[in-house]
């Protein structure tokens, strides 16, 4: 075997199987409704595209500093000041090839072999492999639907050992949409400081929040917790820029410097043109974001109402992000034409094969019995998809 043990230890994402299958069906001309996408369905706003075109025309097409251009770092600094009342300088900021890249870099800098990293479940699919690739150990902290998928502080305290290096926090959360309030975060911050661990705070969905919820960053409480937090953020979700590959991190200078070093020896700089576009995204008009969020909120209300009116299904109302995470566990154990639904993967397969609706099995997020549906698709698709799911569930016995 010539493949490294490191890579052999990483499982391919189960989401890929279903996405590939849905794609193949679509290619055959089958009308599949896709709820799998983890990205906004809107186009990147025009003023942002124009900034990229300007950068191209100005010949801004060469290497930049590995960790990003100063103008973009300054725009990021202004963003943290404006939105989170956080004071950073350039030594605290790194620009990377997406938020995911920031997560990867931070894991490489923070973790040594055997370090434990607490990941509350349901979790975003990439957290455990990113931890494993740094030779650290993901420790899953389960949360329940009853608590709105929020960590219990006592559970958190109990899960922390001498080997614990960090907690991964994701508010608003993908896949559950859970948002922590400021007072809940203050309790978590106290535990983090008491135990002397770090927080990797993935705040990529900061701007995609509903019902007037105000996002709170755990780093913003005081200097002590700020020195223990690496914020991971980016333009992908807020500005519908997933393909541009720009994310940014904010944290203690020594950690950011380490991340910069890794980046300098691996990817080098994120795309020069995308950096210029991202600067415009952060500094330019923000009303485009509000319009997108309003549309998401309408869809969310519809999807959640539909799920909660289906027999045997419950679905918490997400406070942020653009996913519904319904509980289908009462359908696990049922069957269709003699074929048993053993788990969320079987159910997702069934929904795809029979109802022609693509969803992502909860298993991928460490939550058996659930499915994730992205409502980043048109209202028309959503209505059709919900009808199909409701009908398909009734056909199980
Ligand atoms: C989309 C996403 C990211 C990062 O996306 P990038 O495109 O790499 O910036 C990070 N965390 C979560 C939870 C996400 O859903």
Residue 154: which CATH number?
3.40.640.10
User: What pLDDT sits at residue 250?
Assistant: 98
- What residue numbers bound the domain in which 165 lies? 62-283
| Claim to verify: residue 277 and residue 356 sit in the same structural domain | no
| Contact between 379 and 302 (Cβ < 8 Å) | yes
Overall size of the chain counted in residues: 397
Per-residue pLDDT, averaged over 73-93, amounts to 98
Q: What is the share, in percent, of the chain residues with pLDDT greater than 90?
A: 94
Decide if pLDDT at 13 tops 80.
Answer: no
**Ligand 1 pocket member 120 (CB < 6 A):** no
Q: Is 216 in the pocket of ligand 1 (CB under 6 A)?
A: no
Chosen domain end from 250, 283, 316:
283
Domain count, the chain: 2
Q: Are 87 and 116 found together in one domain?
A: yes
The verdict on 278 and 294 lying in the same domain is no
- Segment 53-57 shows an average pLDDT of 98
Q: Are residues 231 and 89 in the same domain?
A: yes
For range 51-59, the mean pLDDT: 98
User: Are both 155 and 242 inside the same structural domain?
Assistant: yes
Domain boundary among 245, 267, 283: 283
CATH of residue 39's domain is 3.90.1150.10
pLDDT mean over 51-79: 98
Q: What is the pLDDT of residue 11?
A: 81
pLDDT (average), residues 98-109? 98
Determine the pLDDT at residue 135: 95
Given a cut of 80, is residue 102 above it in pLDDT?
yes
Distance of CA 118 to the CA centre of its chain: 16
Residues 68 and 153 in one domain: yes
- Domain boundary pick from 283, 298, 331: 283
Separation of 394 CA from ligand 1 center, angstroms? 35
- Domain membership of residue 55 (yes or no) is no
Q: What is the pLDDT of residues 189-202, one digit of tens each?
A: 999 999 999 999 99
Same domain, 271 and 294: no
- How high is the pLDDT of residue 37? 83
Query: Do residue 219 and residue 265 come from a single domain?
Result: yes
Closest ligand 1 atom to Cα of 100: 8
- What is the whole-number distance in angstroms between the Cα of residue 108 and the centre of ligand 1? 18
Q: Is the CB of 127 under 6 A from ligand 1?
A: no
pTM: 0.97
Q: Dump pLDDT digits (tens) for 19-48.
A: 788 889 999 999 999 999 888 999 999 999
Mean pLDDT over the full length of the chain: 96
Instruction: Check pocket membership of 73 for ligand 1, CB cut-off 6 A.
Output: no
Q: pLDDT for 165-212, tens place per residue?
A: 999 999 999 999 999 999 999 999 999 999 999 999 999 999 999 999
């Amino acid at each position: 075997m010539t493949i490294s043990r490191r890579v052999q230890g990483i499982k391919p994402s189960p989401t890929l199987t279903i996405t590939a299958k849905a794609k193949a069906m679509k290619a055959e001309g089958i009308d599949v409704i896709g709820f799998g996408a983890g990205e906004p369905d809107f186009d990147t706003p025009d003023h942002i595209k124009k900034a990229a075109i300007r950068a191209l025309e100005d010949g801004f097409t060469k290497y930049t500093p590995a960790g990003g251009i100063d103008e973009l770092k300054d725009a990021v600094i202004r963003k943290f000041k404006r939105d989170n009342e956080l004071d950073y300088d350039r030594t605290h900021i790194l620009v990377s090839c997406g938020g995911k890249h920031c997560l990867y870099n931070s894991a490489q800098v923070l973790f040594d072999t055997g370090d434990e990293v607490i990941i509350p479940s349901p979790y975003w699919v990439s957290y455990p492999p990113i931890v494993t690739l740094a030779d650290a150990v993901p420790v899953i902290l389960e949360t329940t639907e009853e608590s709105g998928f929020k960590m219990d502080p006592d559970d958190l305290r109990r899960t922390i050992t001498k080997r614990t290096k960090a907690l991964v926090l994701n508010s608003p959360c993908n896949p559950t949409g859970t948002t922590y309030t400021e007072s809940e975060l203050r309790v978590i911050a106290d535990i983090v400081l008491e135990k002397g661990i770090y927080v990797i705070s993935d705040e990529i969905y900061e701007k995609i929040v509903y019902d007037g919820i105000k996002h709170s960053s755990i780093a913003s409480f005081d200097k002590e917790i700020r020195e223990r937090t690496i914020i991971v953020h980016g333009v992908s979700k807020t500005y519908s820029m997933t393909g541009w590959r720009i994310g940014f991190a904010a944290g203690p200078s020594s950690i950011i410097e380490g991340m910069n070093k890794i980046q300098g020896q691996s990817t080098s700089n994120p795309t020069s043109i995308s950096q210029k576009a991202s600067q415009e995204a952060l500094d330019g008009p923000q009303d485009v974001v509000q319009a997108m969020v309003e549309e998401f909120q309408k869809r969310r209300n519809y999807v959640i109402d539909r799920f909660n009116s289906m027999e045997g299904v419950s679905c918490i109302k997400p406070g942020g992000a653009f996913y519904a995470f319904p509980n289908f566990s009462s359908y696990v154990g049922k069957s269709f034409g003699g074929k048993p639904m053993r788990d969320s993967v079987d159910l997702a397969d069934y929904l795809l094969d029979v109802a022609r609706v693509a969803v992502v099995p909860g298993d991928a997020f460490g939550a058996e019995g659930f499915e994730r549906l992205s409502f980043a698709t048109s209202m028309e698709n959503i209505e059709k998809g919900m009808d199909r799911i409701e009908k398909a569930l009734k056909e199980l016995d």
